[in-house]
A and B are shown apart, each in its own frame.
Chain A
């Protein structure tokens, strides 16, 4: 199994630009999570999908952030417009469980730098 796949691995962009991060969960997993990791705030859950439906997006920082899961094998996290404070590592994770008690499998992350 290839594990959770994220692209790109690194993204450098200028303030005001649109950024799209992509995630392919492990086949057969029905839960998908987007996290953001920074030195100041640690690992934060942004949004959680179950069976392609967003269940909890209370962690999405503001309207500039949006996430979609059009099918079971693909999800995107979009930031528009991006700001320097969005610089972080963004992780996607998937699991088999409708609740998080099962193991979450993390992708390698996308390191976003907004100049």
Chain B
């Protein structure tokens, strides 16, 4: 089945810093989503982005489907950005496959 790899596994930053999270996938996809899991465990949709670029406030995402990767950018980080960021993809059969996540810690 499709493999999803996220990097880095852990990232510790100071408030105000910018960050880039990467998601590589091993096959073509027809669905790619980025999620934020907050410290209370809730999964929050950030982007549905099988291709192209989207922006929402301080967050933006780019997926280059032909090269099989997606990037999540967080600018001017805030402590509330802390948590785990997951990339998940669907390839072929309607099964969402998650990466292992990037744990982001923003220190004040």
A-B interaction = no
Q: Which residues of B are interface residues toward A (Cβ below 8 A)?
A: none
Q: What is the interface of chain A, defined by CB distance below 8 A to chain B?
A: none
